A and B are shown apart, each in its own frame.
Chain A
Amino acid sequence: MDDLPAKVQELIKELDEAAEDEDLDKIKELTQILLKTGVDVETITLEKLSLLVMEGEEEMSQGWTRVAIQAGLDPFKTLIEGLAKGMSLIGAKYEKGEAFVPQLLIASSAMYGGMDLLDPYLKQEKNTASKPLTVVIGTVEGDVHDIGKNIVKTLLSANGFNCVDLGNDVPASRFIEAAKENRATVISMSTLMTTTMAEMPKVIHMLEEECIRDKLLVMVGGAPVTTEYASQIKADVSPHDAVSAASWLKASVLNYPSESARWG
């Protein structure tokens, strides 16, 4: 943005301040002035959004989402190329060991803050969009640690998946019910503790007993869960972190049978 005219840079700075102060009238007024300058408001706004989410600036991400709405930008594009891109950027840094969990959490809040504002506009366009695939996600029974699970959910949502979040301490039978109710493509289970790992094969056995194991993918994760363990309990994968989970799932569903082919 350094190559923008000084006047535009000044406007962006003023918008940053208005966003931080949550001054809605000022945001509205400044957005109109920015539009009149003739600059590419879409490119500026999407770049701002992705950087603000990456930095976990919740108020400012909301402020710039208001700019996007005010400027009439496509809400899906704002979500995917702005807010969600920011989440992916911090996710990539985390994967390289350049960021930590708290940074993922504040980026997640920033992304959801913007998404809440976009939601009414996204709903208006939902009929024209293709139906997202559903992931039933939860922390297994006996384990209340759900920070990791929430980060996986955020990154999957940022990558276009519909996440049905069952929360933490989820009994095995609840995973099965939710998978059936939502015609799920994936069950994603996590645990932080070695003591509750045995709940994961329990869910997989129940899927087999219900004859629905082949209708969906099973992803398992959490600090003590290894690839060997995933394979031993017949899960499909145990990604080593939330970013890998999103990448793996995106690649895996490309050639996966459609929801109607699997669930009828």
Chain B
Amino acid sequence: MVAEMTSKERVLSMLNRKQVDRVPVVTGSTMVKEYIEKSGGVWPDYHSNPEMMVNTAGLIHTDAGIDNVVVPFGMFIESHAVNLEVKMGRIDIQPSVRSFFSNPEEVKYDNFLEDKYVKTTLDAIKLAKERFPDAAVTAFLVAPVTLAGDLMGAENLSVLSIKCLQKEKQMQKMKNWISVALEINKIYARACVEAGADVLYYSDASASPNLVMPEFYYEVAVPAEKEIGDFVHSLGCPWELHICGNTTPIVEGMAATGANCLSVEQAVKMSEVTKIAGKVPVIGNITPLLMVEGSEEQITGAVRNALDGGAKASMLGCGTPPLSTSDRLKTWVKAVADWSAENL
């Protein structure tokens, strides 16, 4: 029997492959409309106001009982900081990147840390650490392949992912993009860790077999993810790797990156990927839409399926939908606690 833990201890124990008092419940994004409104947040100010951001993100911990507090809200910060166009979305739609560069030399990141959204993230991390010392304060960051895709355009990334396997010149082109992305990743990672982040959560959405070739993942993405991961570890911080879609063909590669845990979505069979990942903890893979319209029975069923399949933490497959309701989030947390009480 493990003594009761704080949320932070629980998450860090899971990431360090140690025993937990109950299975952690974590999230990768927390832009939940109900909590924004409840905490007095105003669109789009909560993207650039650390106080508003932490007030909203904190409710998912204090009200719903989720073990981490995650900032920022969306995968646009890095792109905005290198002057790409960003559409700010709505209160129920996350911001999105709307432009891209023609070549890596155009990407300027000397003043990356001066960007207002980067500054907001760093201030929000500091504030969250003060306010919620018992929670795992997590920075939500864009991983190298996805960032390279934002820089060059997702369709160009997809096409280049096959061409670079065929021609050395194209491979060099791809490596140049990835190299720029990694430089940006390192600047941002260091700043987040120095601000006090307990965990860095990297989403490499565009490294999915739904968008790029699996061979490309092994040949190019794994070394890139490992490079940023090793850098994060050298700063003394654990990191999580999320990739969207059916990641079954690449889980072995994901496990080789050195990530402290692998986050997968509902398109994969948990029992299958946990076997492939071996000792590396796999977390997931609750269908996000259940937090918007799922019944208690559906939510509990999905939680049990994932945990029975070997998941080491419960997480929504692909971010927390902005229209999630607090009662469903609480149902999710309760289902994890119930399963833990029966099985740990």
Interface size on A, residues (CB 8 A): 23
Which residues of the other chain, A, contact B93 by a CB distance below 8 angstroms?
141-142, 195-196
Chain B residues numbered 146-184 whose CB sits less than 8 Å from any CB in chain A? 154-155, 158-159, 161-163
Inter-subunit contact B211/A195 (CB<8 Å): no
Give which listed residue, A106, A150, A198, contacts B323 with CB less than 8 A. Answer: A198
Residue-wise, chain A 72-112 has the 8 Å CB interface mask toward B (1 for contact) of 00000000000000000000000000001111011001000
| A-B contact number at CB 8 A | 69
In this complex, the interface size class of chain B, counting residues with CB under 8 Å from chain A, is 20 to 34
Q: A142-B89, A195-B93 are in contact. Are A105 and B155 (CB under 8 A)?
A: yes
Q: In the complex, A197 Cα to B292 Cα: how many Å?
A: 11
Q: In the complex, A103 Cα to B216 Cα: how many Å?
A: 13
Shortest C-beta distance, A56 to chain B (Å), equals 7
Q: Counting CB contacts under 8 A, is A224 at the interface? A: yes
Inter-subunit contact B159/A109 (CB<8 Å): yes
Which residues of the other chain, B, contact A105 by a CB distance below 8 angstroms?
155, 158-159
Residue-wise, chain A 147-180 has the 8 Å CB interface mask toward B (1 for contact) of 1001000000000000000000100000000000
Chain B residues numbered 203-260 whose CB sits less than 8 Å from any CB in chain A? 209-214, 216, 244-245
Inter-subunit contact B163/A106 (CB<8 Å): yes
Give which listed residue, A56, A103, A141, A144, contacts B98 with CB less than 8 A. Answer: A144
Shortest C-beta distance, B3 to chain A (Å), equals 37
Q: In the complex, A169 Cα to B209 Cα: how many Å?
A: 24
Task: Determine the residue in chain B with the shortest Cβ distance to A150.
Answer: B155
Inter-subunit contact A194/B289 (CB<8 Å): yes
Task: Determine the residue in chain B with the shortest Cβ distance to A224.
Answer: B289
Which residues of the other chain, A, contact B212 by a CB distance below 8 angstroms?
100-102
Q: Counting CB contacts under 8 A, is B325 at the interface? A: no
| 4 residue pairs, one from A and one from B, having the closest CB atoms | A142-B93, A102-B162, A144-B96, A102-B158
Q: List 16 A-B contacts (CB under 8 A).
A: A100-B209, A100-B213, A100-B214, A101-B158, A101-B210, A101-B212, A103-B162, A106-B163, A142-B93, A147-B158, A169-B96, A194-B292, A194-B318, A195-B94, A224-B288, A224-B289
Extra 4 A-B pairs, beta carbons < 8 Å, given A101-B158, A143-B96, A144-B98: A106-B159, A194-B318, A195-B323, A196-B93
